[in-house]
Amino acid sequence: MSERWPGEEAEALELEEEAPEEVSEPDEEELEEPEEGELEDEEPIPQLRKPGEHAEGELDIPDDVNLIEGEPDGTRRGVAIVAARFNGEITNRLLDSALDELDRLGVRQEAITVMPVPGAFELPLAAMALAKTRRFACVVALGCVVRGETPHFEYIASEAASGLQLAALETGVPVAFGVLTLENAEQAEARIDKGAEAVRTALEMADAFAQLRASAVQASR
């Protein structure tokens, strides 16, 4: 029996208690990869759309319901375009896109009124004034707001969007949102068709409203 100095026995006991337990290595069978076909019963992980992508597809409306659906018809009343001069290089191209689309859809040039305003913040007031004249079947608002280093972008973009919606709600005249909200000016290149898209939206809504009014008149007779 070996002799220990005072205190050595207690230290030895502490070391034995602190010694980690041996970890048994897994058997080779446990490390084997699952055979082909074993994971077939598992449900596939759904693939989410990338940010910015749109869900394609059309509305599936039953044939036995009443349907009021507008078309981008340019043969009806006049169309008003309110365009912001700020970021004019981009807004000019939006305006060209809108005018080309109006021509393609058969809207006569004398039926088109263009009203320039200083910037996107002034678009709602001008759209409201144009809609209240009742001379136009719809209003198309065009402009461009580019993000800068201050919160100015958020304020202008938000007020333009809510103001244009308010103009449509208060007057009942369709007001289409053709305002680009960009991180930088280079992003405008892929979005110039927004002018034509806004025209189609405005005319489609105007046609739908015309059908709605006509059906209401027939129902009252």
| pTM, rounded to two decimals | 0.68
pLDDT value of position 77: 72
Single out the residue of 175, 173, 178, 176 nearest to residue 209, CA to CA: 173
pLDDT value of position 14: 52
* Beta-ladder partners of 139: 80, 175
DSSP 102-119: HHHTT--GGGEEEEEESS
pLDDT value of position 148: 77
Low pLDDT (below 50) residues in the chain? 13, 15, 48
| CATH 2.50.20.20 applies to domain 78-220 | no
Q: DSSP H helical segments within the chain, as ranges?
A: 8-18, 28-31, 88-104, 123-132, 152-171, 194-220
Q: Position of tokens 């008003």?
A: 80
90 neighbors 188 (Cβ within 8 angstroms): yes
- Residues with a catalytic annotation lie at 152
Single out the residue of 42, 68, 102, 86 nearest to residue 207, CA to CA: 68
pLDDT value of position 31: 53
Q: Position of tokens 């007779």?
A: 221
Domain ranges of the chain: 78-220
